[in-house]
Amino acid sequence: MQERPLKVAIVGFGFMGQTHAAAWARIPEAQIKAVFEVPARAPQIRHMVSEYGAKVVTNYEEILEDEEVNVVDVCLPTFLHREYVVKALKAGKHVLCEKPIALHLWEAREMIDAWKSSGKKFMIAHVVRFFPEYKRAKELVDSGALGEPRIARTYRYSAFPPWSVKGWFGVQRLSGGVLVDLAIHDMDFLRWIFNDEVARVYALSPERRVVKGITAQDHGIALLKFKKGGIAYVMASWAYPKTVPFSTYFELVGTGGILQFDNRSTAPLRLGTSEQYSTIQTYPEDPYYLEIRHFADHILKDVELMVTPEDAYKALEISLAAVKSSLIGEPVSLPLKEEVIP
Amino acid sequence: MRKFKAALLSFAHVHAPSYARVLKELPNVDFVAIWDDNEERGKAFQKRYSVERYYSDLERLFAENRDLDFVIVTSENARHYEYVKIALEHDVHVLCEKPLTTNLGHADELVSIARRRGLKLGTCFVMRFHSATIQAYNMLRGGDIGLPISITTTNHGTCPYKAAHWFVEPELSYGARVNLREGDPRYRGGSITDHTVHCADLLRWFLGSEVEEVYAEVGANIRSDLEVEDNALVMLKFRNGVQASIDCSWSRPEGVYPTWGDVNLYIVGSNGVIEIEAFNQNVHLATWKMKRLVYSYWGPDVDKVMITQFMKAIEEDSEPKASGWDGRQATEIMLAAYRSIKEGRPVKLPLL
Full pLDDT tens readout for chain A, 342 residues: 568 999 999 999 999 999 999 999 999 999 999 999 999 999 999 999 999 999 999 999 999 999 999 999 999 999 999 999 999 999 999 999 999 999 999 999 999 999 999 999 999 999 999 999 999 999 999 999 999 999 999 999 999 987 665 689 999 999 999 999 999 999 999 999 999 999 999 999 999 999 999 999 999 999 999 999 999 999 999 999 998 889 999 999 999 999 999 987 778 888 888 888 888 888 999 999 999 999 999 999 999 999 999 999 999 999 999 999 999 999 999 999 877 665
A14 and A97 together in one domain = yes
A85 and A155 part of one domain: no
CB contact under 8 A, B231 and A228: no
A223 part of contact set with chain B, CB < 8 Å? yes
Let me know whether A21 and A98 are in one domain.
Answer: yes
How far, in whole angstroms, is CA B194 from its chain's centroid? 7
Closest CA to A113 of A310, A285, A297, A334: A310
User: Which secondary structure element, helix H or strand E, spans residue B343, and what is its range?
Assistant: helix B324-343
Closest CA to A23 of A308, A317, A342, A295: A295
How does the average pLDDT of chain B come out, rounded?
A: 97
Would residue A304 count as lying in a domain?
Answer: no
Q: Do A241 and B271 touch (CB under 8 A)?
A: yes
User: In this structure, is residue A340 part of a structural domain?
Assistant: no
Nearest to B5 by CA among B91, B101, B118, B134: B91
CA distance A126 to B100: 47
A164, part of any domain:
yes
**Cis, bond preceding B17 (omega within 30 deg of 0):** no
Pair (A99, A179) in one structural domain: no
Instruction: Name the residue facing B215 among A151, A202, A231 (closest C-beta).
Output: A202
- Residue of A146, A148, A150, A151 for testing the chain B interface, max B β-carbons within 10 Å: A151
The CATH number of residue A184's host domain is 3.30.360.10
A113 and A22 fall within a common domain: yes
CATH code: domain of residue A96: 3.40.50.720
Of A150, A328, A183, residue with least CA distance to B218 = A150
Give the closest of B150, B256, B272 to A221, CB-based.
B150
Q: Is A268 in a helix, a strand, or coil?
A: coil
Q: Which of A150, A205, A329 is opposite residue B346, by nearest beta carbon?
A: A329
Asked if A202 and A81 sit in the same domain, the reply is no
Helix (H), strand (E), coil (C) string for B182-201: CCCCCECCCHHHHHCHHHHH
Q: How many CB atoms are located within 10 Å of the residue A145 CB?
A: 12
Give the pLDDT confidence score for residue A281 in this predicted structure. Answer: 87
Length of chain B: 352
- Asked if A233 and B253 come within 8 Å (Cβ–Cβ), the reply is no
Cβ pair A253:B231 closer than 8 A? yes
**Structural domains of chain B sorted by starting position, each given as residue range(s) with its CATH number in brackets:** 4-126 (3.40.50.720), 131-348 (3.30.360.10)
Residue A282 domain-assigned (yes or no): yes
A199 and A278 together in one domain: yes
Instruction: Tell me if A151 and B243 make a contact (CB, 8 A cut-off).
Output: no
Strand pairing report for A122-125 and A277-280 = unpaired
Rounded Cα distance between B113 and B118, Å, is: 8
Q: What is the extent of the structural domain holding A78?
A: 6-125
Q: Is the ipTM of this complex over 0.90?
A: yes
Return the percentage of chain B with pLDDT > 70, whole number.
100
Q: Are residues A66 and A179 in the same domain?
A: no
Q: What local confidence, expressed as pLDDT, does residue A12 receive?
A: 96
Residue A1: inside a domain = no
User: Taking every pair of C-alpha atoms in chain A, what is the biggest distance, in angstroms?
Assistant: 61
The domain boundary, picked from A125, A143, A160, lies at A125
The CA distances from residue A79 to A99, A106, A173, B199, in Å, are 11, 12, 8, 40
Residue B225 is predicted with a pLDDT of 94
Q: A244 — contact with chain B (CB < 8 Å)?
A: yes
Question: What's the structural domain count of chain A?
Answer: 2
The CB density around residue A266, as the number of other CB atoms within 10 Å, is 12
pLDDT of residue B262: 98
| C-alpha distance from A144 to closest chain B C-alpha (Å) | 15
What number is the average pLDDT over the span B80-104? 98
Span B23-46, pLDDT tens digits: 999 999 999 999 999 999 999 999
Residue A184 DSSP SS3: helix
A55 and A104 in one domain? yes
Residues A106 and A134 in one domain: no
Residues A116 and A133 in one domain: no
A294 domain residue, yes or no: no
Same domain, A97 and A159: no
Domain boundary among A64, A90, A125: A125
CB-CB neighbours of B13 under 10 Å: 24
Last residue of a domain, one of A125, A143, A159: A125
Contacts of A283 (CB under 8 A, 6+ apart): A131, A132
Q: Is the dihedral of CA B322, B324, B327, B328 positive or negative?
A: negative
Residue A11 is assigned to a structural domain of this protein: yes
CB A36 within 8 A of CB A20: no
Residue A162 lies in a domain: yes
Indicate yes or no: CB of A223 within 8 angstroms of CB of B235: yes
Kindly identify which residue of chain A lies nearest to residue B154, measuring between CA atoms.
Answer: A153
Provide the pLDDT for residue A272.
84
Tell me the shortest Cα–Cα distance from B165 to chain A, in angstroms: 20
Please give the residue of chain B at the shortest CA–CA distance from A224: B217
Q: Nearest CB to A230: which of B154, B219, B252?
A: B219
∠ CA B57-B58-B60 to the nearest 5 degrees?
70
CB B227 within 8 A of CB B219: no
C-alpha radius of gyration, chain B, whole number:
20
